Structure formats: structure tokens, C-alpha cells
Structure 1
């Protein structure tokens, strides 16, 4: 069965017309004969949207009982049984009511698609998981309903329903989006022009990335290698040389001239892994390009121009920035160089050759180390001085050998010298051997002349072969040494990187591993002359450091213990660059940690104002209305009316008192200023007082407390408050005929009080949410309380050394388990 197609209408904010556009498309498809049904559409009372339903078939919603309230959701089973060609499913990020088969509506949509049913749906940019925190930072409102980006990216079509902020605010002001009483608050908060502009940009950029993915897939499927200039992408090629900073900044300025341009830095490594660039310089340049908003990449290739162009074409680059060759003029006569070759092969990609201080000055890099040690080279020269005369004497004592044999034996001697001492001793051996062969073994003997042309050719071939073999042997030795050094460097880098990744503090782990690797006494990182990290022995003065590595204008690393070899210093420079990056990350993490409490406090303050603004006004308004009625001289009330008004005022003031008390207790808990006076008290004494505080509605609560239950060690007043909140909550969600139950039992050295209800219960993955302040899960139709009851109950319980956890009630419902220590006298 073919999977259905998903089409998503993406909007920057509510009210831009996503549902309207979706229903327009559904109507067009129905007119063309497509079997279309409306599985669920949220019109939010908008007349124009409701009118778009027209003659479309609407599948009735399923009713779900939740906490005494009937909620409606999409009837997934009915839609699957109906099997239309297209189903209209509004609000993809919607969270289904508890008791539904799937938690999220996008999971319902996945089932429809798997059944071969195409789906038209809608989603706002703020509901995408990856942008949730960004939207919260912009708008100050955290979106709890999210949908994974992968679900939206997998859609066959994503259509942006766009509207300017001014037009959207005008629609809002005309009452086309929200009810009249919500307009002013919406325009002054979420629907501010700046918020809408930022959300619109997020939607456009996200959709642009989606379009880029589709374009890349199309180019791959159709084997298109030519550059399509849909967006400026600037690739800057880095060699690891000091000119890299200049090239990166020049490329960043080019990218900045075009809004939305991408900056990519790439370094092409030789595939032999030997002639690599300076890792410290590359690490520094990676930090620089990322700080300018770009990305760093590394590719491997033997032909650098072609590897660079392959990368540029793969990312659909439009421009390449290269440095002018730093090779000397003589070297450029023999090879065109990377810049010229890349320009010749670039095709439609523009190439910028940027001049710099080292242009055409020749390479002044590090001098390559000799292949063999000094001792080996001395031994090679000694072999020439002693070995060739000895070989000559031996051959002179064997007159039966031909010149060919003599030449082969001298060639073997040259090879032996090259293996011992390398290139220069071998060259000396080749020249010396040719002279000895000429003087002693080529007629006329005793003279540096050759009578026969064949002998001259043989000696010439000997010299050429000897030099060539010497060169090959020396090159092999040099390559072996470089490979060993590269392997050691790679192993060291991998070890250090692994220790950093496993550590809790990357900077300290990096410095400690560096100290251990090179057996240093101490390592210190300075920022603007001040030590920000130190490992090892007591910190020495800067002037006493054995090695000083300057990372940038402000950061320096000091190493104390011994001097390092040049090859080791390269690795240390790379680590110093990574240490600087780790330092910046730690500082950013510290700033984020410092800002988190402020953000949390701001969130709490916003939630408090949102909740209290309604819940304080409601009892105040009721009490004021009752008192005002009693004081009115225009209306004469009988005794029953006066009693009812007084009861209303009394009830409202009780609610207000409870609200203020909860708020004060919560503030004391968060400030750590709540006093706890724990004593040994009987549960059979506290539970009845809690039921009396609740009032007549608590008469139906069943209480089962054993007569031999030990005393509980708790603050009687706080325990009573906890029980009032828990029992009130159980009463609120208990269905008629199934009253809550309070039980008590002994569990080791603790007393467990269970408050059991048989209501709709709460999904296990939401258990922790019920204890968050100002949360009322599922209470969309409930307008009482600010959601502090359970949060306060847990806080008071923990203040007394106990725990409060939820559990499932057998047969359905929620059980709150309150655990407190037993009394000391029991």
C-alpha cells in the first residue's frame, strides 16, 4: 500500500489564514472529484473559516471523559474506517486529551499516512521543536505543544501562509482572530509588531532551509553538478598558513553584502596524511570562521584544486576565496599553483584571488627535519671513508672479476651507505665509487680516463643508479619518520580529545591531559595576563615559564617543566587553541547558568501574574458584588436573599484567603523561610481536622486509619494543609458516586497516607508536571485556583523530610502517596 502524501500549511503566528487556505485546497480537490473528509478543524469561532467548510463531509469527533469534563478529539478509528483519499486535520502540534490512543495529533496523522490516506494539515512556526526555545525568548511565551522537525521536513509539500505584521494586527483589531475581550491583551503581548516580524523571519528561514534540502535532493537525483545561484555561498580555502585570517575576514565581508549568504571555510588535507598544515593555525581559524557565523569543513584529496572544486560544487557554492600563491617566482614557472588551476577549472563559480603579506615571497615554513639522526649520518660518512677503500682492496686482490661485477659490488656498497647514513653520504659514496672504478678497474688503469665507450656508459649508469637509489632510500626514511610523527600526533590528539569529552570540566581536563602527555610540572592558561585555569604544581611566574604559547591577543598558555621539541610544540599550539575554545564555552555555560535562575524567576513571575490576575479578581468581584447588593438602598432583600449574599461573600473571601495563604507559603518555601515545628502526632487526629476545613463536601470521603497506627513525626499545621490540598484535589476530579478514600499504613520506619480518587487519572509521563506551580493539567474549563495546591503540598512535605508521589489507582484514577517518618516515641 502506497503511503499517503502530507501537505502542511505553515504559518508564522495564529490568524494568518492557515486553516482557511487548507480548507480552500480541500474544497478544490472535492470539486475535482477527490474523496475528501474533514477529520478535525478548529474554527475558533471565526465565521469566514466556518463558511469554508461548505459541503465538505465532516467526521464526527470522539467524546472523551476527563476529570468530570467531556472533551472531544479527532475520531481516528472512524477516519481510518471511512478510508477517504484525503483527510483534513487541523493543528498538527495539538496534544490529545488523556485517554486518546496517541498523545499527539501528529502521531494520529502518521497512522493516517501509513494507511494510504493523504493529509492536509496546519502548524505554526512556534510549535517546531527546534525553534521552541528561540520563540520563547522572543515572545516570552513557552509553547508546550511541539512537533518534531523531522515530521514537518518529511512532508511532501510545505506551503507558507504569509501575512505582514501590520495586516495581521489589523485583522486582530477588527476581531477576525480573537474575541473582543482578548484583543487588547494580545496586541500588547504576543502580537506585538516586533514579535510578529521575528516569527515571520523564522518561518521564512526555516522554509528556505527546507527548499534547499529539496533542491539538493533534486540536483542529486538528476546528477546536476553545475552551480545554481539560488543563494550566495562563499567558500574560503584555508591552507593553515597565517594568511588564513585575512582570507576569512575578506570572505565574511563578501558574504555580509548579501543577506542570507552562507560562509563556509574548507581545508583540503593531503590523502597521505603527511604534509599537513599547522593544526594550531587551523584550530584558530576554525574558531574565527565560526565566530563570524560561518562553518568549518575538512576534506581529503591528492589533487587540491579538484578536491576544492568538488566540495564547492557539492554545497552549490557561488564564489571561492583563495589566497594568492606564496610560492616564489621560480617555483611558479614549474607549476601554475592552486589558485591559477582552480580558476581555470571553476566554470561558473567565481574565484577571488586575495593578496596578502606573504604573496609571492616563497615558502618560509618550518624547515623539514632530516630523515636520519646526526649519528646515523656520521656513521654513513665513516662507512664511505673506510668501506670503499676496503672494497677496492678486496676487488684488486681478485683479478678474475669483470668490470660489470665490480660496478655491481660498488653499487651494493652505495646502497648500504644510503641505508646507514641517508642521502648525502650515499651521494658521496656514488661519486667516490665512480672515481675508484675509473682509476683502478677501467683501462687505462691509474688514470682518470676511459678508453672504451662501453666502460664510460657503464660508469655513467652506475652513478645515475647510485644517486637514484640513494634518493629513494632517503625519501622512504623521511616518509617513515613523518608517518610515525603524524601517527604519534594523531594518537595524542585523540587521547586528549577523548579525555575532554568524558570530563565534566573540559578546560581543566584538557590542561591536565596536556600536562600528563608531555610530563610537565604545570600548565597555566592566562587571559589578559590573569590566570583563568591552572593544573599541576604551584603556579610559577610568567617569566619563569619554559614554554610560552600565545594563542591570540589576549590568551596565552604557559608550560613549566622542560623545553619542548619543535614537533611537540605544534601539538601544544593546537591544544592551546582548543583550550581557548573550551574557556569560551565554560564562560558561556556559566553565563547561561547565571541567567537560568533569572529566566526561571521571570517565567514564574509571568505565570503568577497570568494566574493571579484572574483568580484574585474573581473572589474579590464576587465578594464586592454581594456586599454592594447588601448595602444597596434601591433593592429590598428578604432574609433568604440576604443569607445567600452573605454566604457568597463569605465563600469568596474564604477562597481569597486560601489563595493568598498558598501564595505566601509558596514564597516562603522558595525563600527557605518557612518554619517547621515537627512533633509526634496521630494521623487519626489530623485527618478529621483537614476534612472539617474542607467543609460539607468532604463528608463523602471515606477514611480508613488503623487503630494501632504509630504516630507520625510532622508539623500538625502543615500536615493539615497538605491533606486539605490533596483531598480537595481528589474531590474535584472524582466522579459522582465514587468518593475519594484516605488510608494509612506503616511501611518500615515511615507512615504512608494514601489519598485515592477514581477520576480520569493522569498519564504517567505527566506526573511531574502536576507539581509545577501555576499548572492545571487539562483544566481548560476550570477557572478556579492558580495551580499551587499540589506544588505547595509537595514543598511542605519535603520541608518535613517526607515525600509526595503519584501512582495509578487500580481500576482508574490517581493515588497521591504521602510518606512521612514515624514518631520518635513509637
Structure 2
């Protein structure tokens, strides 16, 4: 045995992380002492310091049981009224909120009151286990779903409250509570199980010694199967060879009366042999009535509850398809039901079971005998449409006879039969095998009556005519059978193509969806094309509530919202047509990847009937690519966030690298001047001291401009820059900017051209002044000593423009678009010197906030750079002279 196999066995033996353990007390019948044994085990746990809470315990008035229950903490029951009857149920939410280490839940197969969250109590137990709470529970063997038919055959009573077998198989511990039938009957007569009146009725109906013995045997077999499974797991954990799984069990079902019986029998066989099992239905296109469809759907749902896999195949040959599927899945056992003794199956195929026995090689074929009970009669109204096909067969025969009579004088007798063969083919293509065979028989009789001598008689004089008629009937039957088979295959292919087209259409829409909202939009557009259902998609909002992401905003009841929340939290189907909160109108299916819910698919059938199994499987198939698309969109969002985080880190590094020098340079100069003044004091001449102080002030102003640039850029980036607009004269902006930069511009020859009559600007004056200061400082920094710098203000195309031209080295054409990027410093030209690289970026943000733009061109006489700030001119305010 490999180490990985042993590791898997060890992991399987441990409880799942965060999940509680289930201990089941199994009995053959009521009264054997399951509840009493459960309470004794609970007291033992309580003596060891474990907090035990009785969620629901049925004492049935037994004094000994009530005495044991009295020593335990009990969770109050919920009371509700249904049709005038007061019902009490376990408070599931109260137990989940209290979260005790151990909860007692009696009668695991109990059906909850209408309106409860779950239809069955075992589903409540599953939710307690998922919350990490250990559960002790009791159940009788007749409540196991796979034994339902056997219990009915033994006792004559159809048990209605059942639970899937996998619930017991997942139990951490199974305890068999056994009591001999004679002792149980004695307890029953003494009134220790039921009250005397009920006891007498129970003995007469259910509690006979024969019935109890048979039920006791079933309980022992169930416990033995669990012991075998535990033993095999123990061997694997020790690294020793254990009985290996031998292939797979396939059970083929149809829409007949024994479908559910086959599923239950298959479940029991799979448990005894430790085999995984699948329920396979081969749809060959044969028309079925509504009752057969319901029986097939019920059998498939039963298989899902019992833990089996449901497979739907489409093909014309049932037996051959089962054999091929068994080979693909490496199955070792195929179980089918006995075919009906119908004439057409004897002549054409001899039934599925016979063909499996004849054609399979190396497969074990088991055939379950048919139930002795008579089949349920079918309503005649459901078969009306079938008789239309037989009417078509009759009309086709009459038309063929008329046409053959018309051409009988021209064609030879053997050729006339081809007319009837054409009619048979037409009926086979338009209907099914039954009407085609009927048309063949009618054509045979008509051909004999009208055209075989003696005419107008069914007698035949010549022996060769008998052979002709026999061959005609054989050819008609064969061609009709082949045509009907091709028609069924064509119908199956059309249905398969329709489902494939659904998947292809959704996949095509999802392929072009790049984000989460686009995925929801694509899915909504696809589901809106379904006429028989209303669909929507829900997602979690930022505050944790479910909200509609696609499909409109339908109104949901509290029950439907509770079902949606439960489906999201537990990753299972809930709502209409399921076993969890089924009293709403919506069916919910979680869209999850790696057990992480991403969205919720809601479907409401417009007909008011639950979704068929085939429809649910199609929706679940569509949900897979939809969930993958949502996961892909989420991954894209995470990658984008990571990219932005990386760019932010890169920006931060660039900022630190850029400003470290430019902030340190003025600080160093200021510190040197201050140190000189402190060290020498009065020894420094007055003019020198004044020069040091002025230098310190200039460096402080320079440092202030750097910091102001950083603050402005931060405000622009976070969108917190507020525009306090007012009317201002362009000349005032120019004068203030030049005054702030008088020291910086002192080494240059500055020429200004500001006309006296300029329109007013409705702007944030401080921001426009700062932008102009940044441009002037940028031009001054890279202009040569005694170079010219020209500032022009003029009106162009309903815009007022501030143009700053210098005689610096200029900016290459390929870099003129990049100079407005933050921290970009050109290798040559105006951005080649020291600086944070924020000046022009801030200018662009400030001017852009006013609806303006910045242009870059050549400088004075084609040398240097010209940067122009253009601002839109609004309608000028009315002056006092213009006022009325």
C-alpha cells in the first residue's frame, strides 16, 4: 500500500476541520431503548465535564426516560400552529447561537413542521455538525431510504419518513441497540412503549414477531456493513492491504414503475460491496407520457439523496450504450430491471436485459425481477396524442392504396408494393415505431386485399404471392423500425445540440466579459432568453447583504431571502423544489469555486411547478462556466489591485528618490547660514550677515515651493482640490507671480507683454498663479545667465493664454508629451536639471481643473521652449455702467 493511500485513510478517519461528530443509536423498531441509551451516554459525557443540551428528546411518557432527561439542560422547543394543530419543533437557531459542545436530537428521520427551514430533521443535524457541534441521535432501521421497499414487503406498511443512507455512513460512531422480539413484545403489552390502546393496534398491524425478527436482521446487516467499512478503513490507516474497490455499479433505469425500487436495491448492493454507483438513463427519444417522466425524475432525485451519481445519456441503442458507458467508467456490475414481456421487444431486441447478457463481455449483469404489484393505470387523456399517430398510419395507408390503385394499370404488381413502403417510411419518420408497424400491417392487408389475386379477398392462390407478401411485411417492418430509430436519434441529437448551444452561447458571452459586472450582464442577457423561467443573480454587497446583480429587482419574501442566505452559507441548493425552505417561489444554486461562493443563481419557474431534473442539471452545467468567469474576473481585479499597489510603491520610491535631494539642498544651505551666524555672530560684517539671512530666506521660499508642489499634487490625486472661483484680472496674476519669483528671475532679462484691456478670468486665482509660478521657475532654472525670458498674455480663440518663452536647450519632440508625467525628468532640455518632476504635472492638473489646456512649442527665435497656459473665457460680468 502506498504512503499516499495510507495518508488519505488517516485523513478520512479524522473529522473534517470545524465539523462536529455524529453518533447514531440504531434500533430495529420503536421501544428497543435507543433514546434511553442515548441519554445514558449523554450523562456519561456530562460527568466528564462536557456541556450537554437536549435539543429535542421524545420520551413518549416513559418514566425511566423522563427521569434521565430531567438531569440535562434542555433547549426550549419552538411552537407553531398548522391547520389548527399545535406543533413543537427543535429550535435550530437557538442551538446554533448557544453552540454547546454536544446536542441530543431524537428521531433523526422526523419530518419538520411546514414552514421550517428544512423539511427533515436530519438536515437540521447536518447544519449543527457543520457548525462544529457534536450530535447524538436515534433512528430506526425502517427509516433508511434504501430499505423502504423491503420494509414495505415485510410489514405491508409504506414508511413515509425516510433519510438517505449516507447520513449513517458519515457517522463517526454507530451503536446498535438490540432487543429480542419477545422482550420487545412484552414491553409493548406492559405499556412501556405505547399506551395500551395504541399497543394493541401496533401488535396487530406492525409489531408481529415475524416482522420484528426481519427488521432486527436488517438492523444487524446495516450495523455489520458499517463495521466492515470501519474495519477496512482501519486496515488502510495501518498501511495494510484492505478490500479494494472493484470498479463501479451502474444501474439502468427507465420511467417505469420499478425505477425507484431499482435505485434502492442498487444502493444496498453498492453498500455491501463497497462500490461507487451511478444511475444511468439512456434517452433514446421514445415518447413517454407525463407519468413516466415524473417517475423518472423521482428516481433520479432519490438517487441523488442516497448519494449516487445521476447520468443522462442520449443514444438509440440502450444496451449498447450502457455497455460502452460501463467500459468508460470501468464498471464491473450493471443492474437493470426485467423488461416487460411485450411482443415488439421479443421481435426487435428481446429487451435490454437479454441484450446485455448477450453482448457484454467481462461484465456482471444483474436483473431485478419485476414487482408483483400491478402497474398504476395510466390516464387515457395523457395518451390522446399517441392515437393521432395511429390515425396518421391509417390515413397514409388509405392514400397509398389510392395512389397504388391509380397506377396499377401502368406499374407491375411487385412495383406497387413500393408505394406502400413509402407510406410506412413516412409514418416512421413522422411518428414512432408503433404507428410504423401498424402502417406496415395495414399496408400488408390492403396490398393483399386489392392487388393479390383473387382481388377483393384475403385468400392467396399462388405460392409466390405468399412469399411476396411475407417479404413485403418484413421489409416494411424493418424499414419502419430503422426510420423510427433514426427519428429518435435525431430528436436526441437536437436536444443535445440545444443544450450544447446553451453552453456555447453563454461561454461566448462570458469570453468577452472582462470584469465582474460584465459577467453578470452577459449571464443576465443569456438567461433572459428563457421563456419558461425567471432568473436572477445575487451577490454580496459591501455591508454583507445579498443584492440583485442581474435580472432586475424582483420582490423576495423573508422565506426566500432565508433560503438564499442558507444556500450561500452552505453551498447547497435551497428553496422551491428542494428539501430546504421549499415554501417560496425561487430555487437557489450557489456559484462557487474551491468552495468559495461568488454569486447565487435564482430561478423561478413561471408555471409554478418545480424544475425538472433535466432542467436543474442544465442550470448546474451553465453555472460552472459562470462561476469560472466570476473567478476569472475576481482574479483580474486582484491582479489589477496588485498592479496598482506595485505602481504606488514605485511612485513612492520615485518620490523619495526625487525629493530627497531637492528638499535636502535648501535645508543644507539654510543650516550652513544659520550655523555661521550662531558661531561668528557679531564678527561677521553687517552686509555679510544680511546676505546670509537673505540667502536663508530664499532657500526657505524654495523649500516652501517644493512642499507646496507636493501638497498640490496630493490634493489633485485625491480629488480634494476645491475651486474657489472669483473674477480676477490676468495682470494681477502676472504681477503676483513675478513678485514671488523676483530673486529667481533676477539673473535673467525678463520681458512681459500684458495688454491693458484684457477680459477677466473666473478662476481660482491662487491656483492659476501657482501654475504660472511653476512654469516661470521651470523656464528660469534652465535658461542661460542673462538669457531672455518672455511672458506674453493674449486672447486666442475665446481663450486667454499665458505664454512663457525661454532660450534654454529646449525639449525634444518625442519627449514633449511625457514632461507632464509625475517625476519625469527629461535627459535633455528643460527637464534635465534638478527638480522633483512635479511642477508641470501640477500645472496640468490645475489648468485641467479649470477646463483649460497646456501647449508646448518652440521658444524665442526657435530656441528653447514655449509653454502656453490656455484658459477658457466665460461671459464677462456686467459693469456698473452697463447696469440698467
Relative to the length of structure 2, the TM-score reads: 0.44
Question: Rg larger in 1 or in 2?
Answer: 2
Greater relative contact order (CA < 8 Å, ≥ 6 in sequence): 1
TM-score if structure 1 supplies the norm length?
0.47
